């Protein structure tokens, strides 16, 4: 059943079905190549909306689409659900777990992205989950919702306040968006649901190690973000380094903040797959790539998205955002086509389409070229752009429906804790996710 | 913050937020009582649509709603997220895991339902998951979708066919609905997505131990169901007992059916909580209740829904369906109100509103009083009724949207495998669900 063309066509293997990998695969749709798109999950995630899954506004299926479904019409492409464990650039194969064991390539595009970096404190990860995958988002959602349940149960006022205190580490876009939405949910959506706790007493604390929020934005918008967050009730602390995380507290410098729920939105660590490329990596494990996005000394291997690092002509690195991955994926694929047609490769130039971040309910910041927008106008722009960029007609409709519902009712539709309480021993045989307590 | 009325009001504790428990709690909304509704999950599940979550048509959040949210307007009710581990009828307390440890009651309504029974073969459960909770449905969905992925990967035609063979054990409504939808998904929704396998070669086998399908329906509709399923491509085998389940095969009598994916829709085992009531139970662990739904010798304890068994005047048991639980919950609550007003209790009479089951795409069976409907008309009735009965405005809109999408595109919108491939050791720190392989 395999469409066998006698291996005349070069094999392009793409690792990762995120923005970079998916764009690369689609760019090659008419190229005389055989594309294999590898991912360890079956779905593409629209990462900019992950924080909305984490805060129970959208369902996981609203911001995901099966990679196989997205690629169904592309006859020169095969999708493989498998985890790439190793790249062997000398032999030009990618090793995967399970069948088929090895996937040989003529060209390789690595687009596996990044995970959070805990700056040498990997033991913090179980206490402070990050927000990179659907699994992460569901875990954050579970801890966020469960904290209110535990607060409602306890009779100890100190413990209750600790359950009603949420600490977010990292003041980039993810941290700001996550922090901005939490007070509103506590004060509006959840207020009438509880009998013993007053959800208006919820504290949301945003800790940023640097001197300002959202470093990819201009200073004026960062100041505005801080003011807007503070108006929403978020306690923003700048120049504030986390020194320790325990099950019932975070240490900001010397101060102990009692909390049962910490979320991590600071720092990136590149996917460990990069190590097998055999080239020097940067401090956080990224691959410094050539101007054409290829790996130094390996013209047939490209790295795009959060796993790559490249300095632009203005001296700044290409930012690690969705647009960087999308444009990089497209350029890498085009450079493969250049090779096939005997044309010279073209260097990657990042086109800054602007920056956006949402602040709570119906408010946002946007920077597009020389223009800056704030408040409701920026939010409408954000909304329109995200609907347009969201993959798939069904998802767009469903997301619009959920947003309209949240906007008009102040409610959150997806307040689902999938498996909060450990099951009884005689009912555990159907495997479910492990029940990890938010506290000790 | 607790609304303390000096404990003058009788305390009604309800265990279980399914159809029975939720209806009981709502029936008591104006009664001079303090209601505590206990559930080990935070959500009510609309069980009749679980099979649509299992087959990727609806998202878990489409058919669930937070119990707390549903009860928010009822000032005499408190919701507690906790698992009842034991009932001590002498002391009139319910023991729960975690705080508050014990919940005292003056009246108790037990509505914890049933799990599947494996007829003494509990070791089959990991190999053949059932379909009672959202966790179950997500697990069935995962195995169903993953089987096609594994079939696509393997080069062995025998193994490939085993991955493309789905066996459903049990020919009740759940088994019939699950079986009916699978061939259509394989043949339409998934066909263009795969390159190596032909999804039209998918086998769906429905095994029923008794002489007919859907025993709660009249014989003529059972015959129709069998014919309709066979037209859809389901292999229906009656009088066929499962003797053994292995990771790569099911034994139907002496015949070995190679398969990697078995789903269990046969038999009920009542919730083990019933044992602590200290009364004799029936063969599957149900509580035989009095005509007023109370436990013999314990007039302050009621049992409703799938956990109770009661013979109607026509000699048949009250059926273990949603309507039985809803009507039972209402009657138990009303009988508590009768006690409070010094009126005699009234016996429970089940009003049979009819029976419905969906067969594949846009086809159903319905029995309403003396009338029987089949095909598209029955499906439209089914659709209307389920939308009306579904809890919550947001869910109704979202479900209608998903159904319209599936109807017009032949697609399934929620083909999400949350965590299919085991993560690399250095990325496992965020706890995710365990990756259970469908095969050995």
* pLDDT tens digit sequence for B291-316: 999 999 999 999 999 999 999 988 98
Contact (CB<8Å) B130/A41: no
Q: What percent of chain A has pLDDT over 70?
A: 93
Q: Is 80 exceeded by the pLDDT of residue B366?
A: yes
Whole-model pTM?
0.89
Angle, to 10 degrees, between the axis of helix B393-409 and the axis of helix A393-409?
Answer: 170
* Omega before residue A95 within 30° of 0, cis: no
Q: Per-residue confidence at A393, pLDDT binned at 50, 70, 90?
A: low
Question: Does B439 score more than 70 pLDDT?
Answer: no
Three-class SS of residue B398? helix
Question: Hey, which bits of B305-359 come out as E strands?
Answer: 308-309, 355-358
Residue B108 has what pLDDT?
98
Identify the band that residue B216 occupies on the pLDDT scale cut at 50, 70 and 90: confident
Q: What is the DSSP letter of A188?
A: I
Q: What number of other Cβ atoms are within 10 A of residue A370's Cβ?
A: 5
Residue A38 makes CB contacts below 8 A (sequence gap 6+) with A13, A14, A15, A16, A17, A80, A82, A84, A94, A96, A103
Phi/psi region, residue A100 (left: phi>0; alpha: psi -120 to 50; beta: rest), is alpha
Torsion-angle region of residue B68: left (phi > 0), alpha (psi -120 to 50) or beta?
alpha
Using an 8 Å Cβ cutoff, are B170 and B264 in contact?
yes
- At residue A253, does pLDDT exceed 50? yes
Give mean pLDDT, residues B271-276. Answer: 91
Instruction: In whole angstroms, give the CA distance from residue A260 to residue A182.
Output: 15
Among A206-210, A241-245, A419-423, which stretch is predicted with the lowest mean pLDDT?
Answer: A419-423
**Which is more confident, A72 or A413?**
A72
| A40 touches B: beta carbon within 8 Å | yes
**Catalytic-role residue among A177, A184, A208, A367:** A177
The answer for B 190-229 residues in CB contact with A (under 8 A) is: 192-198
In B, minimum Cα distance to A419 occurs at B41
Of all residues in chain B, the one with the smallest CA distance to A151 is: B99
Dmax of chain A from CA atoms? 74
pLDDT at A84 over 50: yes
Identify the CA nearest to A47 among candidates A228, A289, A317, A265.
A265
* CA-based nearest residue in chain B for residue A147: B81
Which one has a higher pLDDT value, A340 or B385? A340
Taking 90 as the threshold, does the pLDDT of residue A347 lie above it?
yes
Could you report how far apart the first and last alpha carbons of chain B are, in Å? Answer: 54
Mean pLDDT within B281-291: 94
Query: Measured between alpha carbons, how far is A346 from B400 in angstroms, rounded to an integer?
Result: 48
- CB-based contact A83 B430, cutoff 8 Å: no
In this predicted structure, the answer to whether residue B428 has a pLDDT above a threshold of 50 is no
- Report the range of poorest mean pLDDT among A270-279, B196-205, B209-218, B422-431: B422-431
pLDDT for the residue numbered B406? 79
Average pLDDT over residues A429-434: 32
Whether B437 has its CB under 8 Å from any CB of chain A: the answer is no
What is the predicted pLDDT for the residue at B195?
92
Which range among A130-139, A325-334, A355-364, B98-107 has the greatest average pLDDT?
A: A325-334
B48-67 residues touching A, CB cutoff 8 A: 59-62, 64, 66
Catalytic residue chosen out of the listed positions B34, B139, B150, B177: B177
Of the listed ranges A27-31, B30-34, B407-411, the one predicted with least confidence: B407-411
Question: Chain A 366-405, CB below 8 Å of chain B: which residues?
Answer: 394-395, 397-398, 401-402, 405
**CB contact burial A151-169 (16+ within 10 A = b; e otherwise):** bbbbeeeebbbbbbbbbbb
Q: Which uninterrupted H or E stretch holds B217?
A: none
Give A98's contacts in chain B (Cβ within 8 Å): 153
Dihedral over Cα of B313, B319, B322, B325: its sign: positive
Report the chain A residue with the minimal C-alpha distance to residue B117: A427
| Predicted local distance difference test score (pLDDT) of residue A7 | 58
Question: What CA–CA distance (Å, rounded) separates A433 from A418?
Answer: 9
Of residues A65 and B417, the one with the higher pLDDT is A65
Please tell me what DSSP assigns to residue B189.
I
Considering only CB atoms, which chain A residues are within 8 Å of B424? 83, 85, 272
**pLDDT at residue A427, rounded to an integer:** 31
Where residue A361 falls among pLDDT bands split at 50, 70, 90? confident
Mean pLDDT on A131-154: 94
CA distance A363 to A378: 7
Query: Which candidate, B25, B15, B48, places its Cα nearest to that of B274?
Result: B15
A139 is catalytic: no
Query: How far is the C-alpha of A306 from the C-alpha of A153, rounded, in Å?
Result: 42
B153 and A394 within 8 Å at the Cβ level: the answer is: no
* Spatial distance between the Cα atoms of B173 and B152, rounded to a whole number of angstroms: 31
In which band, very low, low, confident or very high, does the pLDDT at B419 lie, cut at 50, 70 and 90?
A: low
Contacts of B426 in chain A (CB under 8 A): 272
pLDDT at B440: 29
């Amino acid at each position: 059943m395999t469409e066998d063309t006698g291996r005349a066509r070069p094999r392009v293997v793409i690792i990762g079905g995120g923005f970079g990998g998916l764009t690369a695969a689609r760019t090659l749709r008419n190229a005389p190549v055989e594309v294999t798109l590898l991912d360890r999950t079956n779905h593409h995630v629209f990462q900019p909306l992950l924080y909305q899954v984490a805060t129970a506004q959208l369902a996981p299926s609203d911001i995901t689409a099966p990679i196989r479904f997205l690629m169904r019409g592309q006859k020169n492409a095969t999708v493989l659900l498998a985890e790439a464990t190793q790249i062997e650039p000398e032999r030009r194969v990618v090793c995967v777990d399970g069948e088929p064991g090895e996937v040989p390539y003529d060209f390789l595009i690595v687009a596996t992205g990044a995970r959070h970096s805990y700056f040498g404190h990997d033991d913090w990860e179980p206490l402070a989950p990050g927000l990179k995958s659907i699994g992460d988002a569901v875990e954050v959602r579970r801890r966020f919702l469960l904290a209110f349940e535990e607060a409602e149960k306890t009779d100890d006022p100190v413990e209750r306040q600790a359950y009603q205190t949420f600490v977010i580490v990292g003041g980039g876009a993810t941290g700001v968006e996550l922090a901005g939405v939490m007070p509103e949910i506590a004060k509006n959506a959840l207020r009438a649901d509880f009998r013993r706790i007053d959800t208006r007493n919820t504290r949301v604390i945003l800790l940023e190690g640097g001197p300002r929020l959202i470093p990819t934005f201009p200073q004026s918008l960062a100041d505005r973000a801080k003011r807007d967050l503070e108006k929403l009730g978020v306690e923003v602390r700048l120049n504030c380094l986390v020194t320790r995380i325990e099950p019932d507290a975070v240490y900001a410098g010397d101060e102990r903040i009692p909390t049962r729920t910490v979320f991590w939105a600071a720092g990136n660590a590149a996917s460990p797959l990069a190590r097998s490329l055999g080239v020097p990596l940067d401090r956080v494990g990224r691959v410094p790539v050539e101007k054409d996005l290829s790996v130094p000394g390996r013209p047939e291997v490209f790295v795009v998205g959060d796993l790559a690092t490249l300095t632009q002509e203005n001296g700044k690195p290409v930012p690690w955002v969705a647009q960087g991955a999308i444009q990089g994926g497209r350029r890498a694929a085009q450079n493969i086509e250049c090779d096939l047609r005997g044309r010279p490769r073209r260097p990657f130039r990042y086109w800054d389409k602007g920056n956006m971040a949402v602040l709570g309910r119906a408010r946002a910041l946007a920077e597009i070229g020389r223009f800056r927008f704030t408040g409701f106008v920026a939010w409408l722009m954000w909304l329109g752009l995200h609907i347009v960029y969201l993959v798939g007609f069904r998802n767009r409709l469903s997301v619009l429906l959920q947003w309209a519902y949240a906007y008009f009712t102040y409610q959150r539709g997806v307040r689902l804790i999938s498996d909060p309480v450990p099951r009884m021993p005689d009912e555990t045989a159907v495997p479910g996710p492990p029940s990890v307590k938010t506290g000790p």
